[in-house]
Amino acid sequence: MRYLLVDRILEWEAGKKICGVKNIAMSEDFLEHHFPKNPVMPGVLLIEAQLQLAGWLEAASSDFQSWCLIHRVQQCHYYGFVYPGDRVEIEVEVKANPAAGEKTYSGLCLVDGKRKVAAEFDGKIVTLAEFDDVGERREAFRLLTRG
């Protein structure tokens, strides 16, 4: 992954939900041009952070056999900007399984308890070992959860 958008996983419940945080630092390279003299985190990266949490939820819930890849964003609403210095709280919940090999998730990004991005998206469930090292993902999860 080019951008690791989850700095810590705070809690998770297998197959149901996961909560994490992303701390926005002024040194994030995407802030250089988005926007000059008024840096804000791109909204699409906030959706990506939600998707990365969905991937971690799928991995941890399947003993690191599976991962979630984005298939479709059904809806997304933006409520405000996320700035350098903000701590983004990210919540992702499994909503339904519309088809075999897919799941629907709802995600929410909050800063200081205020809603910034809400999204609903579908993810395809894939075999983790086909595209990544399972041991490395386990170790990364251990670090993210302080486990």
For 125, other C-beta atoms within 10 Å of its C-beta total 20
Catalytic residue among 33, 34, 71, 77: 34
Per the annotation, the verdict on 77 as an active-site residue is no
Task: Please tell me the distance from the alpha carbon of residue 55 to that of residue 103, in angstroms, as a whole number.
Answer: 11
> What's the order of all strands across the beta sheet hosting 17-23?
8-13, 17-23, 87-96, 102-111, 114-127, 66-78
Task: Please tell me the distance from the alpha carbon of residue 110 to that of residue 91, in angstroms, as a whole number.
Answer: 8
Amino acid present at 117: V
Q: Among residues 16, 11, 10, 78, which one has the least CA distance to residue 45?
A: 78
Active site residues: 34
